[in-house]
Amino acid sequence: MWRDLGLVVLPLLAVLAVLPAVYDNGALLLNFVVFLVLAQGLNLTYGFSGYLPFGYVGFFGAGAYGFAMSVTLAGAPPLLGVLAGGGASLLVGLLLTPLLRLQGAYFGLASLAAAEALLHLIGNPNLQPVTGGPYGVKLQAGYAPLLTYALALAILALTMLLVAWLRHARFGLRLLAARDDALAAAMAGIDIVRGRLVIWLASALAAGLIGAVFAWRTATFFPDAVFDLNFSIFAIVFTLFGGAGTLAGPVFGVLLLYGLYNAIGLSAPQYFQLAYGVLIMLLALFFPEGLAGIARRIADG
């Protein structure tokens, strides 16, 4: 646990904390942190309970709208709004708990459908007075680049601490056992339902909190911008590429792939898509456990 913190969490946070002083594209830095949180949040549910929610962006969008609505409708201060965003994602997570009865692709598709349903509920023109409907949100919460960045880092720290703790605690071991074989876990005396529920809500909360911070920073957005399926896809690809269930894997996944995306994805999208596709295929074919799997093979000789 301390080794994980010293080797992965602290160095990453230290670099991210110093970067704004030497690199002036703050929006890009924030996006990196957003994807780091989303990848680690997805890592919580996929790495530790085996559920792969394609609709993970639904929590992100719920957090963004929880923030926006609490600020615009209730006049909440932005910091409280971030908590409201987290609360909104927890609520959505609770409403979706019946999905945990499904498995594999069925669960993935059902969570995707749920995220789409939430998008269309919020984007409903009849709800314009409440949610802004299809015309989106225009916030007056105040532009606070440093504060939002610091908040994003704090959320990242908490999410990674949770992952690091789970990798060493008995609770994490129970989750892994239930992921491996639910029946055998029940026969080992493990409360499977409770474990899965806790990790599902924690994962939802991480996405919701960072969605709220994203909304604060962005200030003006349309519903399909915060319910953009690309958030889910990126988070899944980064996590799997790096290695689910590990702490450093998703970090390297984000740094490498999101770095690649920003380096050539916008200037030369055709080559980016090609490089991306080939890279992911190669990894899936030869290293299904991601970058972490490669590291482990090297370590094992």
Q: Which residues bind to other proteins, rule: CB under 8 A?
A: 170, 173-174, 176-177, 180-181, 183-192
- Minimum Å gap between C-beta 123 and other proteins is 42
138, β-bridge pairs = 220
Q: Which is nearer to other proteins, 174 or 217 (CB)?
A: 174
Q: Which is nearer to other proteins, 146 or 187 (CB)?
A: 187
- The span from the CA of 197 to the CA of 169, in Å, is 17
Whose CA is closest to 214, among 62, 56, 2?
Answer: 62
- Minimum Å gap between C-beta 280 and other proteins is 23
- Minimum Å gap between C-beta 56 and other proteins is 23
User: What's the maximum distance between 2 C-alpha atoms anywhere in the chain?
Assistant: 62
- Minimum Å gap between C-beta 162 and other proteins is 19
Q: Which is nearer to other proteins, 83 or 295 (CB)?
A: 295
- Minimum Å gap between C-beta 183 and other proteins is 6
- Minimum Å gap between C-beta 194 and other proteins is 10
Residue 148: partners with Cβ closer than 8 Å, 6 or more residues away: 30, 213, 216, 217
Q: Which is nearer to other proteins, 113 or 186 (CB)?
A: 186
Q: Which is nearer to other proteins, 147 or 186 (CB)?
A: 186
Q: Which is nearer to other proteins, 64 or 176 (CB)?
A: 176
Token pair belonging to 224: 């399909």
